[in-house]
Structure 1
Amino acid sequence: MDWDKLRIFHAVADAGSLTHAGDVLHLSQSAVSRQIRALEESLNTTLFHRHARGLILTEQGELLFDATSSMNKRLEAAAARIRDSEEEVFGSLRVTTTTGFGSLWLAPRLAKLYEKYPDLNIDLMLEERVLDLPMREADVAIRMKEPSQADLVRKRLMSVWMRLYASPEYLEQHGTPQSLDDLENHRLICQRTDSTQVGAGQVFVQRLLTYDVKSTLNVNNYFGVLQAVINNLGIGVLPHYVIEDFPRAVRVLPDEESGEIPVFLAYPEELRQSRRIAAFRDFVQEEIIAHRRQLRENV
């Protein structure tokens, strides 16, 4: 099968348009169209349905696009490994983690990584969905549970607990609860129990809601919960690492917390020798060690 035609097919399928694919490939629309027709003739099938708004893959086209997508990801991985054979750390690194951890812990610390490796380009993907690392949806992940996907290098970084916090102003106005029964007189700020989140956090919130909480504010990520807490809206359920950077927040009911949540760093086995991965892994570990040392000194 002609590799050049497959490359052009992949660009067309990805763009959904002969014209847009031509712009990406620096080819005329007619040249792209000829290559697609030739590929369809060689396969004796129709790969696209044509209509006024663009192109839609046929069932056969979907099968071929899946294959070319997999090929493209493998080629990108090979190119990354070749680039990583150089002495310097540079190029793109796609990092995936949760919205809360990425926005509240990781992003504020990245300046140190860029200072050390100014030619590194990080694509930070913050979402609760678990991306497929072996299929190269991302290069490296920080996850709130041990990864179950095969062919991954994994390292446990630390543990997290969900706890209750409020602002001094809120507690001064509404009082400090002395037991879980007192939550009925307060507003609880948390993620919805049906939203994607770590299991231990979900169980903790479900337990809190059994105490006849009359007012709640549901937010779909911990960044929003934090903003509500520091703006005096109520008592929030937050990971303990968040509050360490907001020392004015007061821990409420200090005997109450979720189960332990392990935090893992993971990346594909084929990137084990990647200098970019090693630089990011070492940076995260160094930041965790430095943070622990600072906490001990402040005790």
Structure 2
Amino acid sequence: MDWDKLRIFHAVADAGSLTHAGDRLNLSQSAVSRQIRALEDSLGATLFHRHARGLILTEQGELLFDATNSMSKRLETAAARIKDSEEEVFGELRVTTTFGFGLLWLAPRLPKLYEKYPELKVDLILDERVLDLPMREADVAIRMKEPSQADLIRKRLMSVQMLMYASREYLDQNGTPDSAEDISDHRLICQSTDAAQVMAGASLVQTVMAYNPRSTLTINNYFGVLQGVLHNLGIGVLPDYVTHDFPQLVRVLPEIESADVPVFLAYPEELRQSQRIAAFRDFVQEEIITYRKHLRSLEKA
């Protein structure tokens, strides 16, 4: 099968248009059309339904696109491994993690990574979905549970807990609750139990909701919950790692806490030798060591 025709077919299927595919490939629309017709003739199958709004893959076209998509991702992996220098760290690194951890813990620390590796290009993908690392939806993941996908190298980084926090100004105005029953006098800020989140967080919210808070504000990510707490709207359910960068938060109701939530870093086995992966992994581990030292100093204070 002609590799060049497959490359052109993949571009057309991805773009949904002969014109757009031609622009990507620096080919005329007629040249792209000729290559697609030649590929269809060689296969004895129609690959696209053609209509005024563009092109739609036929069933046979879908089968071929699945194959070329897998080929494309494997080629990307090979290219990434080839480009990785033994001594230099450069190029694109696609990192996926949750909204909360990405916005509240990882992103504020990235300046240190760029300071050390100024030519690195980080593509930070914040998503509660578990992306498929072997299929190169991302290069490396930080997740709040151990990944179950095969062919991954995984390392447990730390554990976090969901705890209750409020601002000092809010507590001065509304009083500090002494027991869980006092939640009925306060507004609770949290993620909805229907929102995508770790089970420990949802379970803690269900527990607190049972005490009938006077009012609630539900937001679908922890960054939003944090903003509500910082703006004195109520008592929030937040992961404990936010205390490192927001010392103005006050922990309340210490008897209410979630189970430990493990944090894992994972990447595909085939990227074991990647210098970019190694640099990012070491950076995260160093930052966690610093984070733990800070927590210990707070405990002693």
Same fold (TM over 0.5): yes
- Aligned: 1:74 with 2:74: yes
Task: Figure out how many residues of one structure are paired with residues of the other and give that number.
Answer: 299
What CA distance in whole angstroms lies between the structure 2 residues aligned with 1:278 and 1:193? Answer: 36
Structure 2 counterpart SS, 1:10: helix
Alignment of 1:73-112 (within 5 A): 73-112=73-112
Give CA-to-partner distance per residue, 1:195-239, whole Å, 9 cap, x none: 110011111111111112231101000000000000000000000
Q: Residue 8 of structure 2 corresponds to which residue in structure 1?
A: 8
Q: Residue 167 of structure 2 corresponds to which residue in structure 1?
A: 167
- Aligned: 1:125 with 2:125: yes
Alignment of 1:79-228 (within 5 A): 79-228=79-228
Instruction: Report deviation, 1:290.
Output: 1.4
Q: Residue 19 of structure 1 corresponds to which residue in structure 2?
A: 19
What CA distance in whole angstroms lies between the structure 1 residues aligned with 2:259 and 2:196? Answer: 17
Instruction: Report deviation, 1:291.
Output: 1.8
What CA distance in whole angstroms lies between the structure 1 residues aligned with 2:214 and 2:17? Answer: 53
55-64 or 135-144: bigger deviation: 55-64
TM-score (norm 2): 0.98
Structure 1 counterpart SS, 2:158: strand
What CA distance in whole angstroms lies between the structure 2 residues aligned with 1:169 and 1:294? Answer: 24
Alignment-mate amino acid for residue 148 of structure 1: S
Give unpaired runs (5+ residues) of structure 1.
none
Q: Residue 35 of structure 2 corresponds to which residue in structure 1?
A: 35
Structure 2 counterpart SS, 1:201: helix
Instruction: Report deviation, 1:88.
Output: 0.9
Q: Residue 61 of structure 2 corresponds to which residue in structure 1?
A: 61
Alignment-mate amino acid for residue 89 of structure 2: V
What CA distance in whole angstroms lies between the structure 1 residues aligned with 2:51 and 2:113? Answer: 48
Q: Residue 231 of structure 2 corresponds to which residue in structure 1?
A: 231
Instruction: Report deviation, 1:243.
Output: 2.2
Alignment-mate amino acid for residue 234 of structure 2: G
What CA distance in whole angstroms lies between the structure 2 residues aligned with 1:40 and 1:121? Answer: 39
What CA distance in whole angstroms lies between the structure 1 residues aligned with 2:182 and 2:155? Answer: 40
- Aligned: 1:253 with 2:277: no
Q: Residue 45 of structure 1 corresponds to which residue in structure 2?
A: 45
Give CA-to-partner distance per residue, 1:34-54, whole Å, 9 cap, x none: 000001111111111111111
Instruction: Report deviation, 1:153.
Output: 0.2
Give unpaired runs (5+ residues) of structure 2.
none
TM-score (norm 1): 0.98
Give CA-to-partner distance per residue, 1:49-103, whole Å, 9 cap, x none: 1111111111111111111010000000001111114421111000000001001
Structure 2 counterpart SS, 1:204: helix
Alignment-mate amino acid for residue 98 of structure 1: T
Alignment-mate amino acid for residue 279 of structure 2: A
Alignment-mate amino acid for residue 118 of structure 2: P
Alignment-mate amino acid for residue 126 of structure 1: L
